Amino acid sequence: MSEFQDAYSPMQKFSAAAALRTRRQFLQVTGAALTGMALSSCRRRFSDVQGGQAAVGTAGSATDTLHVYAWAGYFDDELLNSFREATGFRVIADIFDSNETMLAKMQAGGGSQYSIIYPSDYMVQQMVEMGMLQPLDKSKIEGKDALLSRFANPGYDPNNAHSVPANWGTTGLIYNPKLLSPAPQDWNDLWTNQRKISRRLTLFNDVREVMGATLRSLGHSYNTTNPEEIEAAYQKLLKLKPAIASFTTDGWRDLILSGDLMVAMAYSSDAIAVIAESPDLKYVIPASGSSLWVDTMAIPKTAPNPEAAYAWINFMLSPENAAKTSERLKLATAVKAAIDLLPAALRNDPSLFPTEAIINKCEGIAPVGDAAELYDRYWTQLTSL
């Protein structure tokens, strides 16, 4: 795969004071133990993961233990056992369902529990401004130069001063080609095929993703602060609203597997997991561009075990470890040498590793300052109709 250019716009320089809605929502975990339990068809969901076994407990600060706070689907037994064998550190991982949930817990004292957290791109920017993340000691990081050039100096964290990219992906459309023909190629196809897909379409329950996709279909930035452009996106969504079965970030999975849905907005990582269960389904990144998200590894200022945190970062930056994790969990790694080690079928999968031409049309969702209130007002009007 060729390296790609920085997809972040200058809008990322705006203040992150206004909280953004979540990039990704996961259903709350209701079960406790996962040992011996089949994994979910969408993405693996863990309560707590301890040295390769699910466990329930309170995070502590033992010197031989690393407490991690991350998204679901980023761990499995092999990863945790391999890390323990290589470093001697036992891992206990807690799962959050949104950046905002993570931030709230950290503000409530979680920063004294976790030594590694996985904030997304825009949340890194916000937490740096809030003084919640340690500046990274680059002398302690091995393989920091092994990243794809796109990640060497990201707009949300210049020079990766406080974070290291872990996994990344796109937002697009998952569809059933047996039910929907011709296949959608761009966001505008939702409007073109509105009658055909009526009530068999879902979009995210996420103002910035849905408004951003619509803005992109109009030729505007996901991160525009222009009131006229934002209103134009709202008016266009009003026309599509009768065809939308629901706004849901997770609820589309079973419905598209059963054939009740023809097309759904989806994150690439979730779409790939669902397609593994039903290979007839397809995922497409809209030709006009989409959102590009990045989840990172960062160390809170009050981390109880920084030594273990750096050991984790170094382990995850190892090309061999990154490749194995990417292959098992179907996550796009930011380590260039790891991509070269992947099986050709995975390395050349455009859903996991889009072409440079597509990536160059994508944008990271960035803070929009006071315009966030305008986005929220239109979203409330749209979803309450």
Query: Considering the domain 170-291+363-384 in this protein, what is its CATH number?
Result: 3.40.190.10
> How far is the C-alpha of 265 from the C-alpha of 191, rounded, in Å?
14
Question: Matching CATH topology for 16-169+292-354 and 170-291+363-384?
Answer: yes
- Sorted by sequence, the CB contacts under 8 Å of residue 159 that are 6+ apart come out as 152, 153
Q: Count Cβ neighbours within 10 Å for each residue of 1-12 and write b for 16 or more, e otherwise.
A: beebebbbbebb
pLDDT tens for the chain, 385 residues long, are 433 333 433 333 333 333 333 334 433 332 222 222 222 323 323 333 433 333 333 344 468 999 999 987 888 999 999 999 999 999 999 988 778 789 889 999 877 899 999 998 988 998 999 999 999 999 999 987 889 988 989 999 999 999 999 999 999 999 999 999 999 999 999 999 999 999 999 999 888 899 999 999 999 999 999 999 999 999 999 999 999 999 998 899 999 999 999 999 998 988 998 998 999 999 999 999 999 999 999 999 999 999 999 999 999 999 999 999 999 888 899 999 999 999 998 899 999 999 888 889 999 988 888 998 999 999 999 999 8
- CATH class, domain 16-169+292-354, is alpha beta
CA angle 79, 359, 382 (to 5 degrees): 95
CB distance 157 to 128 below 8 Å: yes
Domain ranges within the chain, ordered by starting residue: 16-169+292-354, 170-291+363-384
CB distance 223 to 272 below 8 Å: no
Query: DSSP letters along 86-126, please?
Result: HH--EEEEEE-SSHHHHHHHHHTTGGGT-SEE--BHHHHHH
